[in-house]
Amino acid sequence: MRIVVIGAGKLGGTLASQLVQEGHDVTVIENNPEAIKRLLNSQDLMCIEGNGATASMQVEAGIRKAQLLISATGQDELNMLCCIVARKLGIERSICRVRNPEYYNQIDLIKNDLGLSMVINPELTAAGEITRVLVFPAAAKVEVFGKGKIELVQNRLTENSPLCGLSLAELYKKLKMQLLICAVLRDQEVFIPSGDFVLKPNDIINVAATHTDLERFFRQNGAINLRIKSVVIVGGGKSGFYLAKMLSDLGMRVKVLEKNYQRCTELCDLLPKATIINGDGTDQELLVDEGIADADAFVALSNIDEENIIMSLFAKNNSNAKIVTKVNRETYAEMAGMLGLDTIISPKQLANGSILSYVRSLENASSESRIESLYNIIGNRAEAIEFNVNEKIQDLTSKELRELKLKKNILICAIIRKRQIIIPNGSDKIEPGDSVIIVTKEHRFSELKDILE
């Protein structure tokens, strides 16, 4: 597929790289020569230096032959203008990055006029992800499928976890509930486990089940935390604003630390239920004075990854709070994990996952199945994909699961049939109308039938 990406910053550059890796013909428009140089050094794609909002530049990038435009610059107004120009030039589908809450709240009014297929707000998406984690504090990460019917949560097993030493077959027999451990990270190696896989301390497991069954699972195994009532957020930017509003609306006590005084005055008006403190979150004395030791959760949302990691480590060593750390650079995310920071949030990667799921669905718009959602799990080393089965798929919907010849390192972890959640066994079947969730380690799928050998 031919795709034009405008903007080669954190989001646009990473997205362009991933699209190239998935086999797409990508052209990037960027007015910063240094950003172009970095991208060209790492990927085989075409880059054009210039203003992506001009018709001449989009024509030079091949917009008339492209199937999709993605405008991901750091300026909302510029992104919307780029999409307007692209529509006038004949593009049928465009994705626009809009971060400003004032613009985002009214985007539905002008979405059709702009010709937008999707609007991406990385900060809002990240705030939603953090909120889910704080509502379910036993998890390091929570992904939602089937419009909330089923969740995929990540958790690290402790040294004294009663799960350690059990094979998955023994575990399922013992628990007698509908859940599936569908991916495990052990010593930096990813496993898609079978029934004879034995769990060990420090394994990072990904468990799929309904929210109720997940709560029962963690409660029975001593991993459930108390309900979070108070949260300290460092960083009053867009992510901090969205998160503070969500948590305040849920009834949590929220305190936001922001070092920019002008931004503090704005937040006081925008967040009447929250406490706004003008101060530097990297000041350890300030964190102590503002009650970090008594907080149920601590969220580091500054714009600097290194600061977020350092603040999170200080909070981890000086409180019993649930720690959430925003880190965009993948190498830093891996390092933070090795330092014991389990809940790492990357707005960039969350936005990329949404866009990639749309692109893959677009590739096979007329197929028997389409992608509803796609999440990168275990540090982007595996994928969890939800497919909607639109019609009967030959060799897939006519057989029991035990009869299917699946490619290696693939697991069908759940089937959603109307309001019924099925954690499948060998005798279950996939039917038209189902939503099917798979976890895969080595493959990039855009159609459900591709899981077959």
Q: Are 254 and 274 in contact (CB under 8 A)?
A: yes
What is the Cα–Cα distance from 96 to 94, expressed in whole angstroms? Answer: 7
pLDDT of residue 224: 64
Instruction: Label residue 445 exposed, middle or buried (CB < 10 Å: 0-12, 13-18, 19+).
Output: buried
Q: How confident is the model at residue 106 (pLDDT cuts 50, 70, 90)?
A: confident
What letter represents residue 173's amino acid? Answer: K
Q: Can you spell out the DSSP letters for 428-452?
A: -B--TT-EEEEEESS---SSGGGGB
pLDDT of residue 338: 83
Mean pLDDT across the stretch 165-181? 90
Q: Is the pLDDT of residue 398 over 90?
A: no
- Name the average pLDDT for the chain: 91
Q: Are 328 and 346 in contact (CB under 8 A)?
A: yes
Cα–Cα distances (Å) from 212 to 27, 140, 201, in that order, read 46, 17, 25
Question: Left if phi > 0, otherwise alpha if psi is -120 to 50, otherwise beta: which for 363?
Answer: alpha
Predicted confidence (pLDDT) per residue in 50-76, tens digit: 999 999 999 999 999 999 999 999 999
Share of the chain above pLDDT 90, in %: 63
Mean pLDDT across the stretch 210-226? 81
Q: Are 309 and 328 in contact (CB under 8 A)?
A: no
Coil vs helix vs strand at 210: coil
Six-digit token string for 139: 């998890």
Closest CA to 205 of 221, 222, 223, 182: 182
Q: Is the pLDDT of residue 364 over 90?
A: no
Count CB atoms within 10 A of the CB of residue 350. 20
Predicted confidence (pLDDT) per residue in 269-320, tens digit: 999 999 999 999 999 999 999 999 999 999 999 999 999 999 999 999 999 9
Predicted confidence (pLDDT) per residue in 289-299, tens digit: 999 999 999 99
Mean pLDDT across the stretch 125-130? 94
Coil vs helix vs strand at 310: helix
pLDDT of residue 367: 66
Q: Is the pLDDT of residue 337 over 90?
A: no
Share of the chain above pLDDT 70, in %: 98
pLDDT of residue 125: 93
Six-digit token string for 11: 């989001």
Instruction: Please give the backbone phi and psi of residue 169, each rounded to the nearest 5 degrees, phi first.
Output: -65, -40
pTM for the model stands at: 0.88
Maximum alpha-carbon separation in the chain: 66
Mean pLDDT across the stretch 339-356? 90
Q: How far apart are the first and last CA of the chain?
A: 25
Q: Which domains does the chain have, with CATH numbers?
A: 2-120 (3.40.50.720), 141-220 (3.30.70.1450), 230-345 (3.40.50.720), 355-451 (3.30.70.1450)
Coil vs helix vs strand at 282: coil
Q: How confident is the model at residue 26 (pLDDT cuts 50, 70, 90)?
A: very high
